[in-house]
């Protein structure tokens, strides 16, 4: 994958396949005193069917998948590898019939850290394709916090459905502005 937004798209698709009705994507830039470095942590959580205990221990293996259309599942292993190759960390926790949370942390200044990519476009694609799902996006850095909740946003656009141009255009601009304000730098990069 060439950027984190593509990892988000892939992992969120797993949540959608797990029948999630609410999906949270969180990106946090922070300094860790223990490691004495800035990290960018990506978390994706859902309220889907979860992963049973036996499969959870093997979910990072690319040759393990629940899909019947193919015999490999690369999303989680590729995200883990992206985190590990830039001195980051990775974990998955899940409870059957409760949901799943995947977290990947990346050293911001590491040469192998992927850019964040076009998170706004990724989120809009997910929202348009799945208007029945509640998406929550959190962005956090020392510059502040940003939150988008599609359920709350839809209420402020009374009478407008979740797939109308006016609403989607507003969401895209709102997310893009949030990324610029919280992470600084250019649109697809985190200011270190």
- Residue 136's CATH number: 3.30.565
pTM over 0.85: yes
Asked if pLDDT for residue 116 goes beyond 70, the answer is yes
- Residue 159: its pLDDT value, please? 63
Given the structure tokens 């690369």, which residue do they identify?
Answer: 74
Look at residue 174 and tell me if it is in a domain: yes
Look at residue 192 and tell me if it is in a domain: no
Look at residue 87 and tell me if it is in a domain: yes
Domain count, the chain: 1
| Count of CB atoms situated within 10 Å of the CB of 33 | 7
Q: What is the mean pLDDT of the chain?
A: 85
Collapsing DSSP states into helix, strand and coil, what is residue 158?
Answer: coil
**pLDDT tens-digit readout, 12-58:** 998 999 999 999 999 999 987 666 789 999 999 999 998 776 665 65
C-alpha distances in angstroms, 81 versus 6, 17, 91, 106?
Answer: 14, 23, 12, 11
Q: Are 79 and 11 in contact (CB under 8 A)?
A: yes
Domain that holds residue 177: 4-183
Work out the average pLDDT over 98-106: 95
**pLDDT tens-digit readout, 143-175:** 999 999 999 988 887 766 667 888 899 999 999
Asked if pLDDT for residue 72 goes beyond 50, the answer is no
C-alpha span between 124 and 74 (Å, rounded): 23
Look at residue 8 and tell me if it is in a domain: yes
């Amino acid at each position: 994958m060439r950027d984190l937004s593509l990892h988000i798209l892939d992992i969120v698709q797993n949540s959608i396949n797990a029948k999630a009705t609410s999906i949270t994507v969180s990106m946090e830039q922070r300094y860790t005193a223990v490691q004495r470095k800035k990290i960018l942590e990506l978390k994706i959580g859902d309220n889907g069917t979860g992963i049973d205990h036996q499969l959870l221990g093997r979910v990072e293996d690319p040759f393990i998948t629940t899909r019947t259309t193919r015999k490999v599942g690369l999303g989680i292993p590729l995200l883990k590898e992206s985190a590990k190759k830039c001195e980051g960390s990775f974990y998955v926790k899940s409870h059957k019939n409760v949901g799943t949370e995947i977290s990947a942390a990346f050293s911001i200044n590491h040469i192998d850290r992927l850019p964040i990519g076009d998170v706004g476009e990724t989120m809009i694609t997910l929202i348009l394709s799945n208007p029945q799902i509640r998406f929550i996006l959190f962005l956090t850095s020392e510059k502040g916090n940003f939150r988008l909740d599609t359920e709350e946003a839809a209420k402020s656009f009374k009478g407008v459905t979740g797939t109308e141009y006016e609403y989607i255009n507003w969401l895209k601009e709102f997310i893009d502005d949030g990324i610029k304000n919280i992470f600084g730098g250019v649109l697809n990069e985190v200011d270190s």
